[in-house]
Amino acid sequence: MLPLPALLRALTSGELSPTDHVDDVLARLERDETGCVITLDADRARERAAELTASAARGERMGPLHGVAVGIKDLIDVAGLPTRCGSRLLADAPPAAADAAVVALLRAAGAVVVGKLHTHEFAYGPVGDTAATGPCRNPHDLSRITGGSSSGSAAAVAAGHLPLAVGTDTGASVRTPAALCGVAGLKPRRGAIPGAGVFPLAESFDTVGLLATDAASLAVARAALGGPGPANPGAVRVGIAGGGWWRPHEPVLADAVRTAADALAGLDHTVSEVDTPGVAELAATYPVITGAEAYATHRDWYATRRDEYQTATAQRLAPHAEAPAHTYVDARRARRRLASALVEHLRGRADVLVCPTTRLRATPIGADTVPTPAGDVAVRPSLLETTSPFNLTDLPVVALPVPVPGLPAGIQLVGVTVGEAELLGLAGALERALR
Amino acid sequence: MLPLPALLRALTSGELSPTDHVDDVLARLERDETGCVITLDADRARERAAELTASAARGERMGPLHGVAVGIKDLIDVAGLPTRCGSRLLADAPPAAADAAVVALLRAAGAVVVGKLHTHEFAYGPVGDTAATGPCRNPHDLSRITGGSSSGSAAAVAAGHLPLAVGTDTGASVRTPAALCGVAGLKPRRGAIPGAGVFPLAESFDTVGLLATDAASLAVARAALGGPGPANPGAVRVGIAGGGWWRPHEPVLADAVRTAADALAGLDHTVSEVDTPGVAELAATYPVITGAEAYATHRDWYATRRDEYQTATAQRLAPHAEAPAHTYVDARRARRRLASALVEHLRGRADVLVCPTTRLRATPIGADTVPTPAGDVAVRPSLLETTSPFNLTDLPVVALPVPVPGLPAGIQLVGVTVGEAELLGLAGALERALR
């Protein structure tokens, strides 16, 4: 699949019609081997593509994404399709009455919604292996996980099925699957892309984000959703996150960070190591806050239909039945205090923070732990603890693949003093330098 | 005590010196019979008054409150004085190292801090009868409560000791004692007056507010704290809160609302009854949210020094030890949903809402229930449930006394579409009309 800028040039020049593009996308999705497709909306997509092809022929463009096929994580409402959230509990969900806000914005920009994509059940996990339809498989190695919870969005883009997919990110869920599948992901600040019509995981952190082949594509898509276009940040202070928290379990992931740091230094940015005081304590508040909020949402189903959850989901919900309110209040207070202190510390030292997206690359499906030279390590925290700090601090992040041998590796570019626009500009320059 | 505008005229003209005024205030506070005084800062107050008297003689004014004596609720830090929060647990509290933000602002405006005033223990109650030093007594009848938790602030102003006092309002705590003591109170939006240096009750709602003899005084004090001066709102839609929630247990309190409504109609405002859908459900979220947050603050003391709390405080904390996190999350969600819906409903119908401040006037100290023609009614909810909805909706409120026979009665003017400035302007016009 062409990156979005090139695809849009082809669609705009008439070299490629919306109909040809959407037919191609639908054919790829029908042949998919990853399990990323949950519901295809083929008839409506072809119909819309035909309208857009006709209007393009009259020289009329609906918007900046005229004719671009897009897939939607099945946690997000698309009018006329069920929102099943990867769960047997919603196997018989009725068609959604209305588009979620982000879907409406995409349609208004001329995008063609082709269907719903795999999610880790109720978005409650960074793995992508837990869903009513089974695991989503990594296009780079079908025996391995995609990461989650926007598993299908990452797999569909990585497999070349789609130029753009919508995901959500509560603690990891855009960036971790982007990293494990080798695509780019944008986690904006919470609320920057509107969240109406998205099934909640944890309201303190739920964020709508985007996945695409590269940062240049993310920049085009973000601008089409009413966000800022990419901006040149000028020479910035790049901080490389230092300390044990950020040390990956696979050396190749540290290599990826170093590669990015060298490329950024070559682009005349100042690069230095920065520490992140309190990050472990900050990250420890995440499961407490998220668990309480998720349990409150699921309580009634959990009481009456527990067997219909996937086992892993039921096990994650269970401890939150009895968790006391004052512990949740404590976690919220600690989060606020530690996040403010960390952001203030970082602002004094860096405009952009660079760190690995995950501590492991894609692991075998079904493995809760994996062996490393330093001993067995748990998969789930390795896919969450390096991403959740930026939900806790609510900083914008672009997750970017960095070329390494073998399975994909990803880094995060975190906007400390810069916003999405500068971050997307910097990420675009970095990926050009890395090519 | 003169209302603040007249007092300031006397201080500015030289008719009254800061020293004479502060000496008068200190003499009154030393003779006090209500129990409103916790700590007098007489020496420093006299010293400061002498400085301000000298600078006034040179024609120099420190600020808009030059020489005005002010008392501070003993939940709020004053540098050099202990903050005891009405509790035996803080009997040996060290002197506060720094002034709370509101105290620093008052001093910068030229006010003279004379001491610390009675608070319901840890501000956790709308009664004012629960504190290490015993109950605070109503100046209008020393056998009756003041309301709380800013009990001492209301009593000191009502007794004529002070022209101005600072309080806090989490669910009732400025407005209820203002109503029961017959003075005026301002509960701004949360954070409008900075809250640093105030012992927390519940961070979702804690608000710093002011008490003074009348709305005209509040307007002067608020402007001196960097807020808007009073503004003329023009002709507004006045909504009288209708329905059983707002029906007081004493008919004279309904009379007070009618008196205010007639006066507002006489000022050419449009007056009509408006309903408040969902207010009972909204108010029910208040004790759940406040209790969890208060318990989290007090947990360690409650575990190790329970006996040192006043019995009523320990009893209020107890049920929150085991309250589950998901119930708190539910209450927060319900609060957000119901408050938004209520505000939206009101905005369509009224610019200012008028309702009683409390359902009872000052009750006898020690009475948990009081007899009414319709049977016994509980005191505490009667002093809280008509005020907490405006913490839950975070609307600004001016609580105003309305002349009635016997004990004082108060009404609330709630800013629905108008802000503090217009609300203070309207309250000032109303109190002039009521005279």
Write out pLDDT tens, residues B264-312.
999 999 999 999 999 999 999 999 999 999 999 999 999 999 999 999 9
Q: Which helix (H) or strand (E) holds A258?
A: helix A251-266
Q: Residue B270: which of B230, B232, B240 has the closest Cα? A: B240
Side-chain half-sphere exposure of B272, counting CA atoms within 13 A: 11
Instruction: Give the residue numbers in B contacting A (CB under 8 Å), as ranges.
Output: 203, 291-293, 295-296, 299, 320-330, 333
- Give A339→chain B minimum CA distance, Å: 17
Task: Select the residue of B203, B292, B333 nearest A325 (Cβ to Cβ).
Answer: B292
Q: Residue A55: which of A125, A133, A112 has the closest Cα? A: A112
3-state secondary structure chain B: CCCHHHHHHHHHHCCCCHHHHHHHHHHHHHCCCCCCEEEECHHHHHHHHHHHHHHHHCCCCCCCCCCCEEEEECCECCECCECCCCCHHHCCCCEECCCCHHHHHHHHCCCEEEEEECCCHHHCCCCCCCCCCCCCEECCEEEEECCCCCHHHHHHHHCCCCCEEEEECCCCCCHHHHHHHCCEEEECCCCCCCCCCECCCCCCCCCEEEEECCHHHHHHHHHHCCCCCCCCCCCCEEEEECCHHHCCCCHHHHHHHHHHHHHHHHCCCEEEEECCCCHHHHHHHHHHHHHHHHHHHHHHHHHHCHHHCCHHHHHHHHHHHCCEHHHHHHHHHHHHHHHHHHHHHHHCCCCEEEEECCCCCCCECCCCEEEECCEEEEHHHHCCCCCCHHHHCCCCEEEEEECCCCCCEEEEEEECCCCHHHHHHHHHHHHHHHC
Q: Residue B188: which of B199, B204, B175 has the closest Cα? A: B175
Assign residue A385 a region (left: φ > 0; alpha: ψ between -120 and 50; beta: otherwise).
Answer: alpha
> What pLDDT does residue A228 have?
84
Q: Does the distance separating the beta carbons of B333 and A326 come in below 8 Å?
A: no
Q: Which of A87, A149, A217, A382 is catalytic?
A: A149
Maximal C-alpha separation, chain B: 63
List the beta strands (DSSP E) in A101-216.
Answer: 112-117, 137-138, 141-145, 164-168, 184-187, 208-212
Contacts with B293 from chain A: Cβ below 8 Å: 329
Instruction: Give the residue numbers in A contacting B (CB under 8 Å), as ranges.
Output: 203, 291-293, 295-296, 299, 320-330, 333
Q: Does the distance separating the beta carbons of B203 and A326 come in below 8 Å?
A: no
Q: Does the distance separating the beta carbons of A321 and B320 come in below 8 Å?
A: no
Which chain B residue is nearest to residue A334, measuring alpha carbons? B296
CA distances from B395 to A54, A212, A235 (A): 53, 44, 45
CA distances from A61 to A5, A18, A66, A68, B162 (A): 16, 11, 6, 12, 70
Contacts with B202 from chain A: Cβ below 8 Å: none
Q: Does the distance separating the beta carbons of A330 and B328 come in below 8 Å?
A: no
Round to whole Å and give the CA distance between B72 and B210.
Answer: 10
CA angle B162, B166, B168 (to 5 degrees): 145
> What pLDDT does residue B227 have?
87
B341-387 pLDDT, tens digit per residue, is 999 999 999 999 999 999 999 999 999 999 998 899 999 999 999 99
Q: Residue B211: which of B261, B258, B253, B148 has the closest Cα? A: B148
Which residues in chain A show pLDDT less than 70? Answer: none
This model of the complex carries an ipTM of: 0.89
Is the bond preceding A87 in cis, omega lying within 30 degrees of 0? Answer: no
Burial class (CB in 10 A: 0-12, 13-18, 19+), A209: buried
Residues ≥6 apart with Cβ < 8 Å to A89: A301, A305, A308, A309
- Give A203→chain B minimum CA distance, Å: 9
Reading the block at residue B224, the tokens are 């001196």
Which chain A residue is nearest to residue B202, measuring alpha carbons? A329
Round to whole Å and give the CA distance between A402 and B185.
Answer: 61
* CATH topology for the B4-224 domain: Amidase signature (AS) enzymes (3.90.1300)
User: Which residues make beta-bridge pairs with B356?
Assistant: B411
Round to whole Å and give the CA distance between B236 and B234.
Answer: 6
CB A370 within 8 A of CB A377: yes
Residues ≥6 apart with Cβ < 8 Å to B116: B37, B38, B39, B41, B71, B72, B73, B74, B78, B81, B83, B84, B152
Q: Does the distance separating the beta carbons of B292 and A333 come in below 8 Å?
A: no
Rounded to 5 degrees, what are φ and ψ at A125?
165, 145
Q: Residue A199: which of A96, A128, A288, A291 has the closest Cα? A: A96
- Give A358→chain B minimum CA distance, Å: 30
Task: Select the residue of B203, B327, B333 nearest A325 (Cβ to Cβ).
Answer: B327
CA angle B300, B301, B303 (to 5 degrees): 65
Reading the block at residue A138, the tokens are 């990594």
**Domain layout of chain A by residue ranges:** 4-224
Round to whole Å and give the CA distance between A297 and A90.
Answer: 14
Q: Which of A151, A173, A217, A388 is catalytic?
A: A173
CB A369 within 8 A of CB A379: yes
> What pLDDT does residue A344 have?
98
> What pLDDT does residue B354 have?
98
Contacts with A285 from chain B: Cβ below 8 Å: none
DSSP 8-state class, residue A73? E
CB A352 within 8 A of CB A418: yes
Q: Does the distance separating the beta carbons of B299 and A326 come in below 8 Å?
A: yes
- Give A342→chain B minimum CA distance, Å: 20
Side-chain half-sphere exposure of B101, counting CA atoms within 13 A: 14
Q: Which residues of B are catalytic?
A: 73, 149, 173
Which residues in chain B show pLDDT less than 50? Answer: none
Assign residue A395 a region (left: φ > 0; alpha: ψ between -120 and 50; beta: otherwise).
Answer: beta
- At position B415, the amino acid (one-letter code) is G
Residues ≥6 apart with Cβ < 8 Å to A373: none
Q: Does the distance separating the beta carbons of A321 and B321 come in below 8 Å?
A: no
List the beta strands (DSSP E) in A60-207.
Answer: 69-73, 112-117, 137-138, 141-145, 164-168, 184-187
Round to whole Å and give the CA distance between A379 and A365.
Answer: 11
- Give B348→chain A minimum CA distance, Å: 24
Instruction: Look at residue A31 and give its three-state secondary structure.
Output: coil
**Mutate which of B203, B288, B328 to disrupt the A interface (most A C-beta within 10 Å)?**
B328
- Give B330→chain A minimum CA distance, Å: 6
Q: Does the distance separating the beta carbons of A203 and B326 come in below 8 Å?
A: no
Burial class (CB in 10 A: 0-12, 13-18, 19+), B343: middle
A187 is an active site residue: no
